[in-house]
Amino acid sequence: MKNLSVPVQYLRGVGPARARMFNFAGIETAEDLLSWIPVRYEDRTKFLPIASLSEGDRCVVKGKISASGKRPVRKRGFSLFEVIVSDGRGAISIKFFNQPYMSNILKEGRTAVFFGRVSLDKYNGFLTMLNPEIEIMGSGEDELIHSDRIVPVYRRIDKISGRMIRKTVFMFLSESPEMREMIPNEILKKYGFPEISEALKEIHFPSVPPGVDPEAFVRILHERETVAQKRMAYGEFFVFQAGMKQARIDNARVSSSKDIKITPRLKERVIKILPFKPTQAQKKALGEIVRDIVAPRRMNRLLQGDVGSGKTIVALQAMIVLVENGYQAAIMAPTELLAEQHFIGISRLLSNSPYRVGFLSSSVKGNSRNKFFENLASGEIQLVVGTHSLIQKGVEFKNLGLAVIDEQHRFGVSQRVMLGEKGFEPDILVMTATPIPRSLAMTLYGDLDVSIIDQMPPGRIPVKTVVKSESGREEVFSLVREKLKAGEQVYVVCPLVEESEQSDLTAATETCSRLQDIFPAAGVGLLHGRMSPEEKTLVMEDFRKGNLQVLVTTTVVEVGIDVPSATVMIIEHAERFGLSQMHQLRGRVGRGLRPGLCVLMVAGKGTREAAARLRVMSESNNGFVIAEKDLEIRGPGDYLGARQSGAADFHFGNLVKHFSLLADARQDVSDLFDQGGISRNAKKLLLESFSKKWGDKAGFYSSG
């Protein structure tokens, strides 16, 4: 008997050529094929009377072919074949473009079913269907697959049509392949879930429950709310959460051999570096972090908080705890610019402290680089700030006790693993300024503890956000003029242009020279991804010092900078930006005492989705709210995709629609593992399945 691990090549109807196309799309086994779920379903149980059709209907008609013929086409190499189909009461013309073989299939006198969209023939004003899917009646088992049922519609894979996929799936399922059940029986019972084989059959070839209208059932299918769909989603979450749970267990076992003492002297020092009173949220976060540092297990913590909520200073305090205990601590940023920013900020905060701070990026070269490595290995450097360079091979620490990773989205898992290999099992603190909705944090960082700073330092006035169209530009410019006169500074962000980095640059360059003309007295600077780190630093410094009052940037450059007199952020083509991205950019203004303003310039009409994003931006200033909305509007796939988080992706599960199932699975797995309600063997299977699916991609799994 076949099982789910059979390679697709050995499925009926799939030879080496198709197998290659499947493989290229990531479909290696029958199981992968069954995870290629329908993009939608079509109710093909009801045939509409041809006489009742009207333009725009997506429908199924059944009738006899009463006439057929080739139609002349002007262009060489093109063909058009037409049949007239009648059901006794009405007739319709059906055309096939460039499918000459249809003349062999659609012979006069045959009865066939057509699924497609009714349109109006521009030339003669009659109703027609162009390139519908067809099924000849009375020709064998295929009619059972493609008609007279709720039919799954699949996205095509290369040259393999959706119809071909449907047939392949159908034939495989009808062989009753063996499937391994991952969900324990009691849990299936608890939720009233069907067994896996039943569920997969229902996902691909749903049967309408008795008494339910097929059309209504299709709607439920599209909402992904049938019991089969929920079961498969749950099953996927269950396996995922098993992996996460095991990671948490493993992690708790990794003992950290560090000897950390919190003395009154240390407490005093940690507080002394603060030039202000910490917020309640900062205190709480630091408390959680320090508790982890002291605990005899390794810390794996995510620190979430909006831009400007004061994460860096909390991280720095944690670093001091390590340094005071004789260990080294590192903080790493994703870009040179951010690393430098941290270095400057931290050096300033520590200017009256005895700690020795080092800096490494790719711009530290030659002799000073060698010197740096020496000092790092000897322990001469206690606190180090840098970029990815810090975790490259050959960089040796004396005793790294804590690694703080800023803006984790750009750090891949492998990088975190490499960091772990730096020895001494450093505690790990990941900071992110893009708050992640709880639902996602739970899945992506299932093995991480989470601290949240959800409070802004006092005195910060929320940034006001307005949406303007091109017709409001003059108004915006005169406002900018006033701000510049008052000595304030302005960012102008140009969006990513799809085509290339080059056109990206062109757009920014043009904006820059236009603004130079409009504001001749203000220095207008340009920052873009093609500049060398040295050039970037120079421009940044000029902006920070106020030599430049306006800074035009492309999004290639992370504007991770802290310039208190920057009060205005203009985002060009705001309709092209994601919510979280805009929110992040907005956080760069209003960091001083003067109120910030964010202008979202919108060109053209944009999509409804874009309009929704802009509305959210002008209504909320809270990163956590925005993250939730972002997830809601874009859906998790896009949301995560835009972050390139290498996050877990689910085939059956949808984080928005099935969120409560995710939470259920987490709880169920946790209970089962904790109470020993699962056999060793079942556990082993679950974890194998987990690593097969997510082992090297799941957020933070490989931390142990």
**CB 401 within 8 Å of CB 325:** yes
- Closest distance to ligand ADP from the beta carbon of 305 (Å): 5
**Chain position whose Cβ is nearest to Mg ion:** 312
Residue 312 makes contact with ligand ADP by CB under 6 A: yes
282 binds, among Mg ion, ligand ADP, none (CB under 5 to 8 A by kind): ligand ADP
- CA dist 626 and 527 (Å) reads 27
636 part of the interface to ligand ADP, by CB under 6 A: no
What does 457 bind: Mg ion, ligand ADP, none (CB cut-off 5 to 8 Å by kind)? ligand ADP
Sole window of 116-124, 150-158, 302-310, 488-496 interacting with ligand ADP (rule: CB under 6 A): 302-310
- Closer to ligand ADP by CB, 310 or 334: give it: 310
Residue 279 binds to ligand ADP (criterion: CB under 6 A):
yes
Taking CB under 5 A as the binding criterion, the range among 94-102, 225-233, 304-312, 659-667 that sits at the site for Mg ion is 304-312
Determine if 583 is a binding residue for ligand ADP (CB under 6 A): no
Which tokens sit at 301?
């913590």
Q: Please enumerate in sequence order all residues whose Cβ is within 8 A of that of 643, keeping only pairs 6 or more positions apart, or say none.
A: 409, 434, 580
b/e for 148-165, b at 16 or more Cβ within 10 A?
bbbbbebeebeebebbbb
Contact residue for ligand ADP among 270, 307, 448, 557 (CB under 6 A): 307
592 touches ligand ADP by CB under 6 A: no
- Cβ atoms within 10 Å of 66's Cβ, excluding its own: 12
429 backbone φψ class: left, alpha, beta (φ>0; ψ -120 to 50): beta
Shortest reach from residue 342's CB to ligand ADP, in Å: 9
Q: Contacts with ligand ADP: how many residues (CB under 6 A)?
A: 16
**Which x/- pattern, by CB under 6 A, does the window 428-467 give for ligand ADP?**
-----x-----------------------x----------
Question: How many other CB atoms are there within 10 angstroms of residue 593's CB atom?
Answer: 11
In which element (H, E) is residue 441 found? Answer: helix 438-444
DSSP state of 493: E
Both structure tokens of 474:
């003059």
User: Judged by CB, which is closer to Mg ion: 314, or 526?
Assistant: 314
315 or 360: whose CB is closer to ligand ADP? 315
Binding flag, residue 686, ligand ADP (CB under 6 A): no
| Beta carbons within 8 Å of 606's beta carbon, 6+ residues apart | 575
Task: Answer yes or no whether residue 404 interacts with ligand ADP by CB under 6 A.
Answer: no
Nearest-approach distance from CB 467 to ligand ADP, in angstroms? 25
CA distances (Å), origin 330, targets 104, 291, 390, 416, 672: 72, 19, 9, 13, 38
Give the DSSP H/E element, type plus range, for residue 302. strand 300-305
Looking at residue 575, the DSSP 8-state letter turns out to be: G
List the x/- string, 433-452, binding to Mg ion by CB under 5 A: --------------------
282 counts as binding ligand ADP under rule CB under 6 A: yes
Strand locations in 131-267 (E): 133-136, 150-153
Selected binder of ligand ADP within 449, 454, 562, 638 (CB under 6 A)? 562
- The residue among 504, 511, 619, 629 whose CA lies nearest residue 578 is 629
Applying CB under 5 A, the span of 160-168, 260-268, 305-313, 513-521 interacting with Mg ion comes to: 305-313
Query: Maximum distance among all alpha carbons in the chain?
Result: 97
Q: Determine if 567 is a binding residue for ligand ADP (CB under 6 A).
A: no
Q: How far is the CA of 121 from the CAs of 74, 92, 126, in angstroms? A: 17, 11, 5
Could you tell which of ligand ADP, Mg ion, none binds residue 309, using a CB distance below 5 to 8 A set by kind? ligand ADP
DSSP state for residue 465 in the 8-state scheme? E
* Cβ-based nearer residue to ligand ADP, 428 or 662: 428
* 283 contributes a contact to ligand ADP by CB under 6 A: no
Place of tokens 């200073």: 313
Q: Scan residues 544-563 and list those touching Mg ion (CB under 5 A).
A: none
Point out which span in 39-47, 109-117, 277-285, 317-325 binds ligand ADP (CB under 6 A). Answer: 277-285
Q: Which is nearer to ligand ADP, 309 or 328 (CB)?
A: 309
How far apart are CB 351 and Mg ion at their closest, in Å?
Answer: 19
Choose between 247 and 453: whose C-beta lies nearer to ligand ADP: 453
Measured from the CB atom, the residue of 151 and 307 that comes closer to ligand ADP is: 307
Minimum CB–partner distance for residue 340 and ligand ADP (Å): 14
Instruction: Report if residue 645 touches ligand ADP, rule: CB under 6 A.
Output: no
Residue 529 binds ligand ADP, judged by CB under 6 A: no
Residue closer to Mg ion (CB basis): 312 or 549: 312
**Is residue 590 a contact residue for ligand ADP (CB under 6 A)?**
no
Q: What does 279 bind: Mg ion, ligand ADP, none (CB cut-off 5 to 8 Å by kind)?
A: ligand ADP
- Nearer residue to Mg ion within complex by CB, 322 or 346: 346
Closest chain position to ligand ADP (CB): 310
d(CA 387, CA 694): 27
Taking the complex as a whole, the smallest distance from the CB of residue 419 to ligand ADP amounts, in Å, to: 20
Starting at the edge strand that comes first in sequence, how are the strands of the sheet with 524-527 ordered?
A: 464-469, 597-602, 566-571, 489-494, 550-554, 524-527
Smallest gap from residue 626 Cβ to Mg ion (A): 17
Cα end-to-end distance, the chain, whole Å: 39
Least distance (Å) between residue 362 CB and ligand ADP: 23
Q: In one letter, which amino acid is 375?
A: N
Nearest to 232 by CA among 462, 34, 377, 83: 34
Question: Which SS3 state, helix, strand or coil, does residue 190 take?
Answer: helix
Give, for 163, the enclosing helix (H) or strand (E).
helix 162-174
566 binds, among ligand ADP, Mg ion, none (CB under 5 to 8 A by kind): none
Check residue 553 for interaction with ligand ADP (CB under 6 A).
no
Query: Is 428 within 8 Å of 300 (Cβ atoms)?
Result: yes
Does 308 interact with ligand ADP (rule: CB under 6 A)?
A: yes
Binding residue count for Mg ion, defined by CB under 5 A: 1
Give me the DSSP letters along 15-67. -HHHHHHHHHTT--BHHHHHHS--SEEEE-S-PPPGGG--TT-EEEEEEEEEE
Question: What sign results for the dihedral spanned by CA atoms 99, 105, 108, 113?
Answer: negative
Instruction: Read off φ and ψ for residue 583, nearest 5 degrees.
Output: -65, -40
Instruction: Determine how many CB atoms are found less than 10 A away from the CB of residue 140.
Output: 8
Q: Does 299 bind ligand ADP (CB under 6 A)?
A: no
Q: Which stretch binds ligand ADP (CB under 6 A): 31-39, 228-236, 278-286, 647-655?
A: 278-286
Query: d(Cα 435, Cα 625) in Å, to the nearest integer?
Result: 9
Q: Does 311 bind ligand ADP (CB under 6 A)?
A: yes
| H or E element in which residue 70 lies | strand 58-71
Q: Shortest gap between Cβ of 553 and ligand ADP (angstroms)?
A: 18
**Tokens 């799809």 sit on residue:** 498
Partner in contact with 305, chosen from ligand ADP, Mg ion, none, beta carbon below 5 to 8 Å by kind: ligand ADP
Positions touching Mg ion (CB under 5 A) are 312
Positions touching ligand ADP (CB under 6 A) are 276-279, 282, 305, 307-313, 433, 457, 562
